[in-house]
């Protein structure tokens, strides 16, 4: 039965610790005994047991499961379980590796949810980890990676000894930064204490932690080594047991979706209609974890920005460090190292002529800045009649007023505002496909319009190589070469909008590299920060900057959060990852899988075209798809794809496993068949 459809889901609690030998197993067994004494149907589960051969867990006192069984002696149902056990008494990643296995947080989370579903007749399930929070499960993941994926509340266990305060506070801070809900804290006395000074230390630990953590329930377990110790210790955990009993009592709470619909308005949607909506609890790598526990393979990179996936530790550490130093400061009259370094790094990846960097806070604002730059540049030259922009049909540049004016006025999303927008000049989109020989005739519309109306055009603006939200159209690089020459002849600036195409999506670091063309103005955004913060940039040549500032003029634009230090730190971290060069093979491999797996879609009668470039895969249908039905099908089959109009497309995170890319492609084919679109 799917997780979301279960009528009863047990209350699940994870017991973890500040380190090894801090009393996690004693606490788990004592809490299990307390729950059983309360007549709750409960079970304790060791997620990974080391030092015990597979199949022997529970048969020897060295096994945690053995102690669970002792605590549950006499119960009429199983009270103990071990999911994975390995003979070497070492950290899980090493113990697993030595027997030819590799633990994965995604697989463990799925296994645990399946286990919970299979034990839906239980009231409480207690899951015990191994060692401390940062004990590795594999080369890149630890318990702090797994816990947010599960979403279960956490009980932290600590040994009451010298250093307890430090270890406990550090562990609680780590849990908080990982967005884990901490249900309580248990301090264990792990040995018999006969020294008066030591007793004073232990007593002070308890008092100090209670004073520092007044909001957190704190239980203490004395040292006990008798045969019935779990039953005796269970009495000390009655307050914690009562907290669990209250927490597992069903509450008549309004769902997140209902609360959302009562207050929020989503992009490109009606406030009245109820379009399909899913609540996301967390995300990791290339996976979205829904509030009900379902896991989706992400095919969209959250509108093309999360190229490194979600919760990448390098990005998170960069944000955390910056937060502790300088989260924000106004950029008017002030500067900081993060912004300066980011401008220098961006310039190092771009044509040397693009020498001035204006940092903004979103892609649409970057486009507004570019348009204002072009207009003020022409004004500075005395070309005041150049007040219009030339753009190809099929383009999309954002949803603010200036950006809307240069989007496709016929098939775009902004026809309603056409009477309010500045009147721009449009030409047919480039007809020369990326994968076909270049046809010079495709430049004729631009040549004709620049010849006829060049004196009123301030700049030409377009998305290089790939038109994004306007149609996912791929056109030939030589078109950009020819257009650049025409703009130079006409005295018109050339603006490239690389917000969607930049940072590797097309297989080049920047799409402009396909043509070897340098625009006068360049817009960047989306993947600039790897999808963890909002940041954009508009770059221009010294020539443009000097024209803007001619006659003592200044550029009148200043977003409040311009050059936000947190966003700059995140962009630096994203560039760190991109500069390793790993993205090149990742994007190449994704492209090869999509070419192979999406090809079958071309056999469907309703499909007009299938095209792939870099990590962008597009299935274009002859008529608009039923977006709601297709989205529901995809979610039901474990993938996240958001089609629009007659386009079903993919732009997954670069770190996506290739088997997930294949699954995304195959799901598109089946979705088109199942929803009737492919017939």
Nearest by Cα to 190 from 155, 150, 218, 157: 157
Q: Both tokens of residue 641?
A: 């794809």
Could you report the per-residue pLDDT of 477-516, keeping only the tens digit for each?
Answer: 999 999 999 999 999 999 999 999 999 999 999 999 999 9
pLDDT of residue 413: 75
Among residues 497, 520, 615, 660, the one annotated as catalytic is: 497
* CA atoms of 634 and 656, how far apart (whole Å): 17
Is 258-293+582-674 assigned to CATH 2.30.110.10? no
Token pair 């947010």 in the structure block, residue: 148
Instruction: Point out the residues of the chain with pLDDT beneath 70.
Output: 1-7, 56-59, 227, 249-254, 677-679
> Which secondary structure element, helix H or strand E, spans residue 296, and what is its range?
strand 295-298
Among residues 195, 251, 268, 435, the one annotated as catalytic is: 268
Catalytic: 626? no
pLDDT of residue 675: 83
pLDDT of residue 129: 97
pLDDT of residue 246: 86
How far are the Cα atoms of 90, 532, 632 from residue 282, in angstroms, in the given order?
A: 30, 13, 20
Q: Which fold has domain 12-247?
A: Rossmann fold (3.40.50)
Nearest by Cα to 449 from 475, 428, 423, 478: 428
How far are the Cα atoms of 394, 434, 484 from residue 517, in angstroms, in the given order?
A: 21, 16, 7
Nearest by Cα to 421 from 393, 448, 400, 390: 400
* CA atoms of 427 and 527, how far apart (whole Å): 29
Catalytic: 268? yes
How far are the Cα atoms of 197, 573, 575 from residue 585, in angstroms, in the given order?
A: 61, 20, 16
Catalytic: 59? no
- Give this prediction's pTM: 0.87
pLDDT of residue 219: 94
pLDDT of residue 291: 87
Among residues 66, 526, 649, 660, the one annotated as catalytic is: 526
Q: How many CB atoms lie within 10 A of CB 399?
A: 17
Catalytic: 379? no
How far are the Cα atoms of 115, 359, 382, 479, 560 from residue 316, in angstroms, in the given order?
A: 31, 21, 48, 40, 24
pLDDT of residue 293: 82
Could you report the per-residue pLDDT of 152-164, keeping only the tens digit for each?
Answer: 999 999 999 989 9
What class has domain 359-559?
alpha beta
* CA atoms of 394 and 392, how far apart (whole Å): 6
Q: What are the boundaries of each domain within the chain?
A: 12-247, 258-293+582-674, 359-559
Among residues 284, 396, 479, 649, the one annotated as catalytic is: 396
pLDDT of residue 1: 39
pLDDT of residue 4: 46
């Amino acid at each position: 039965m799917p997780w979301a459809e279960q009528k009863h889901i047990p209350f699940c609690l994870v017991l973890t610790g500040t380190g090894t030998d801090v009393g996690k197993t004693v606490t788990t067994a004592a809490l299990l005994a307390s729950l059983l004494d309360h007549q709750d149907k409960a079970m304790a589960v060791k997620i990974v047991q080391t030092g015990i051969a597979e199949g022997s867990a529970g048969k020897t006192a060295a096994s945690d499961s053995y102690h669970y069984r002792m605590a549950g002696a006499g119960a009429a149902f199983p009270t103990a379980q071990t999911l994975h056990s390995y003979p070497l008494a070492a950290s899980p990643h090493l113990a697993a590796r030595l027997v030819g296995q590799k633990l994965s947080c995604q697989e463990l989370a799925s296994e645990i949810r399946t286990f919970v579903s299979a034990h839906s007749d239980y009231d409480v399930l207690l899951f015990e980890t191994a060692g401390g929070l940062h004990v590795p499960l594999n080369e890149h993941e630890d318990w702090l990676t797994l816990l947010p994926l599960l979403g279960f509340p956490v009980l932290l266990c600590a040994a009451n000894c010298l250093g307890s305060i430090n270890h406990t506070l550090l562990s609680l801070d780590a849990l908080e930064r990982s967005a884990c809900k901490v249900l309580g804290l248990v301090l264990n006395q792990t040995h018999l204490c006969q020294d008066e000074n030591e007793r004073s230390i232990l007593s002070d630990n308890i008092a100090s932690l209670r004073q520092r953590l007044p909001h957190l329930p704190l239980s203490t377990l004395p040292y006990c080594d008798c045969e019935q110790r779990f039953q005796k210790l269970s009495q000390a955990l009655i307050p914690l047991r009562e907290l669990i009993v209250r927490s597992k009592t069903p509450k008549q709470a309004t769902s997140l979706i209902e609360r959302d619909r009562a207050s929020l308005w989503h992009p490109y949607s009606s406030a009245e209609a109820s379009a399909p909506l899913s609540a996301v609890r967390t995300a990791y790598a290339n996976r979205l974890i829904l509030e009900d526990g379902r896991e989706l393979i992400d095919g969209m990179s959250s509108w093309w920005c999360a190229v490194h996936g979600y919760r990448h530790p390098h990005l998170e550490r960069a944000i955390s460090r910056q937060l502790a130093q300088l989260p924000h400061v106004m950029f008017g009259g002030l500067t900081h190292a993060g912004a300066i370094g980011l401008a220098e790094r961006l310039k190092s990846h771009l044509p040397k002529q693009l020498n001035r960097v204006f940092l903004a806070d979103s892609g649409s604002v970057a486009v507004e800045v570019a348009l204002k730059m072009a207009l003020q540049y022409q004004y500075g030259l005395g070309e005041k009649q150049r007040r219009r922009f030339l753009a190809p049909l099929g383009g999309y540049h954002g949803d603010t007023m200036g950006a809307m004016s240069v989007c496709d006025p016929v098939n775009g999303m902004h026809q309603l505002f056409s009477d309010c927008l500045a009147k721009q000049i449009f030409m047919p989109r480039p007809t020369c496909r990326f994968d076909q020989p270049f046809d010079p005739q495709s430049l004729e519309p631009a040549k004709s319009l620049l010849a006829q109306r060049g004196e009123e055009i301030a700049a030409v603006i377009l998305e290089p190589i790939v038109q994004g939200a306007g149609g996912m159209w791929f056109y030939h690089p030589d078109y950009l070469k020819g257009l650049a020459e025409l703009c130079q002849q006409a005295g018109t600036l050339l603006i490239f909008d690389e917000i969607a195409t930049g940072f590797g999506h097309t297989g080049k670091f920047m799409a402009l590299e396909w043509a070897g063309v340098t625009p006068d103005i360049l817009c960047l955004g989306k993947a600039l920060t790897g999808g963890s913060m909002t940041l954009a940039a508009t770059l221009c040549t010294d020539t443009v900057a000097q024209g803007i500032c001619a006659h003592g003029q200044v550029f009148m634009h200043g977003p409040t959060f311009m050059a936000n230090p947190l966003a700059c730190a995140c962009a630096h971290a994203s560039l760190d990852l991109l500069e390793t060069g790993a993205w090149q093979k990742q994007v190449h491999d994704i492209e090869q899988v999509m070419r192979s797996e999406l090809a079958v879609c071309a056999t469907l009668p309703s499909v007009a075209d299938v095209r792939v470039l870099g990590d962008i895969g597009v299935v274009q249908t002859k008529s608009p798809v039923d977006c709601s039905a297709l989205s529901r099908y995809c979610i039901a089959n474990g993938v996240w794809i958001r089609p629009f109009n007659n386009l079903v497309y993919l732009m997954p995170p670069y770190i996506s496993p290739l088997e997930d890319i294949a699954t995304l492609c195959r799901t598109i084919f089946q979705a088109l068949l199942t929803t009737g679109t492919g017939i």
